[in-house]
Copies of this chain bind each other. A is one copy, B any other.
Amino acid sequence: MPATPRSRRERPAKPALTREGIVAVAVEILRAEGLPKVTMRRLAQELDTGPASLYVYVRNTAELHAAVLDELLGSIGPAPAAGGWRERLEGVLVAYTRMLLEYPSLARSALTAWPSGPHYLDLIETLLGLLDEGGVPRERAAWGVDLLLQRATATAAEHAGEASREDWDTLGQALSQVSDRTHPHIAAASGVLLSGAPEARVSWAFQALINGIERTAVPEPRD
């Protein structure tokens, strides 16, 4: 009796071996199993080829991650239509942060491999538009966008790796056990340092950033 061929029913239609096909499969694996499983070898296996073949379409793993992020960026939708510019700006930033928080390891990778895809450009345009609506001078807005996006990305990235919850507790313990002779300011602030609901802190941080960007003059360029 000949061995029966392995079933191929798992994937309805095998995506084509193109950049789009690779990114599509990568997003699928990311959603189902997380970024650590999105490896060149796994992708190749899923596409019935060897890992070497992928290098025709993507330069390396970092570039692949950036493409995946831009793809996901398409899902956060437009800015809220109601409310003042400040609230709407916070709304966009919170939506971006929330999306990244679903894939913290992708956020981590986005911090290093800068996205430059179409959805990322749309996001920058939206942020600049809202800052302009609020009367923030163009130069401050331009430099400020970096601050806002970096805060969102870094906040999500901090949750990558299973250890993060434990580390927070370790730091909390260290902060509360500190002597008020050697570290008087920590001792005095220990109750507040790690206090507050996560949403409240996220919101406060964005408002503080917006306030700072609004009020801080960019230096005159010297030549």
CB–CB A207/B216 < 8 A: yes
Is the pair A138, B200 in contact by a Cβ cutoff of 8 Å?
no
Query: Which residues of chain B come closer than 8 Å to A219, judged between CB atoms?
Result: 196, 200, 204
Q: Are B163 and A113 interface neighbours, CB within 8 A?
A: yes
A88 to chain B, nearest CB (A): 15
Q: Mark A179-223, 1 if CB is under 8 A from B, else 0.
A: 000111110110011011000110011011111110110110100
Complex CA–CA separation, A150 to B215 (angstroms): 21
**Judging by beta carbons under 8 Å apart, are B150 and A185 in contact?**
no
- Most interface-central of A142, A183, A184, A215 (chain B CB within 10 A): A142
Quick check: which of A6-14, A40-48, A92-100, A168-176 contacts chain B, the rest being far away? A168-176
User: What is the oligomeric copy number?
Assistant: 2
Given contacts A185-B128, A212-B212, contact A171 B114 (CB under 8 A): yes
Secondary structure of the A side of the interface?
A: helix
Q: How far is the CA of A195 from the CA of B211 in the complex (A)?
A: 22
Check A178–B121 contact: CB distance below 8 A. yes
A121 to chain B, nearest CB (A): 6
Question: When chains A and B are docked, how far (Å) is the Cα of A219 from the Cα of B146?
Answer: 26
Instruction: Report whether A204 and B186 are in contact in the complex, using a CB–CB cutoff of 8 Å.
Output: no
| Interfacial chain B residues near A155, Cβ < 8 Å | 150
- A84 to chain B minimum Cβ distance, whole angstroms, is 16
Of the residues B111, B145, B170, contact of A154 by C-beta under 8 Å: B111
Question: For residue A144, which residues in chain B have a CB less than 8 angstroms away from its CB?
Answer: 208
Given pairs A111-B111, A208-B212, 19 additional interface contacts (CB within 8 A): A60-B163, A113-B161, A114-B171, A115-B171, A116-B174, A122-B183, A138-B188, A138-B192, A139-B192, A143-B208, A144-B208, A147-B151, A147-B208, A151-B154, A154-B154, A154-B157, A208-B216, A211-B215, A211-B216
